[in-house]
Amino acid sequence: NAGVTQTPKFQVLKTGQSMTLQCAQDMNHEYMSWYRQDPGMGLRLIHYSVGAGITDQGEVPNGYNVSRSTTEDFPLRLLSAAPSQTSVYFCASSYTRTVSNYGYTFGSGTRLTVV
């Protein structure tokens, strides 16, 4: 099925561990982004990419790295996990970096707990 696929769906990490959250889309979307959502809160932008090889920081980039080597994939790396990074992470994509008639397509999220 076409869409945005995030893996894993659930993850528990110990403080200090590193890991990569995967995001893949098969819609040939140019724009991809990562958001985090803390309990009872809205979404906050971590990093985004307007095309392969181009990434930029969002509102809350500290502690996270991204790369965009292909159009399809946009992995999010946690360098040294901290309890403050416990959150639900959503990946989103869009055909264009700006205005799209279909808005963003979101993945189903990765629920991360850091203990």
Interacting residue ranges for other proteins, rule: CB under 8 A? 4, 31, 33, 35, 41-45, 48, 50, 56, 58-59, 88, 90, 92, 97-99, 101-109, 111
Query: How far is it, in rounded angstroms, from Cα 14 to Cα 94?
Result: 33
Phi, psi of 84 (to 5 degrees): -70, -10
Q: Which of 81/92 has CB closer to other proteins?
A: 92
Strands across the sheet with 64-66, in order?
4-7, 19-25, 76-78, 64-66
Reply yes or no: is the peptide bond before residue 8 cis, omega within 30 of 0: yes
Q: How far is the CB of 17 from other proteins (least distance, A)?
A: 24
Q: Which of 9/20 has CB closer to other proteins?
A: 9
Q: How far is the CB of 113 from other proteins (least distance, A)?
A: 14
Q: Which of 50, 49, 46 is nearest to 61 (CA)?
A: 46
- Taking the CB of residue 29, how many other CB atoms lie within 10 A of it? 22
Q: How far is the CB of 20 from other proteins (least distance, A)?
A: 19
Q: Which of 80/102 has CB closer to other proteins?
A: 102
Q: How far is the CB of 25 from other proteins (least distance, A)?
A: 12
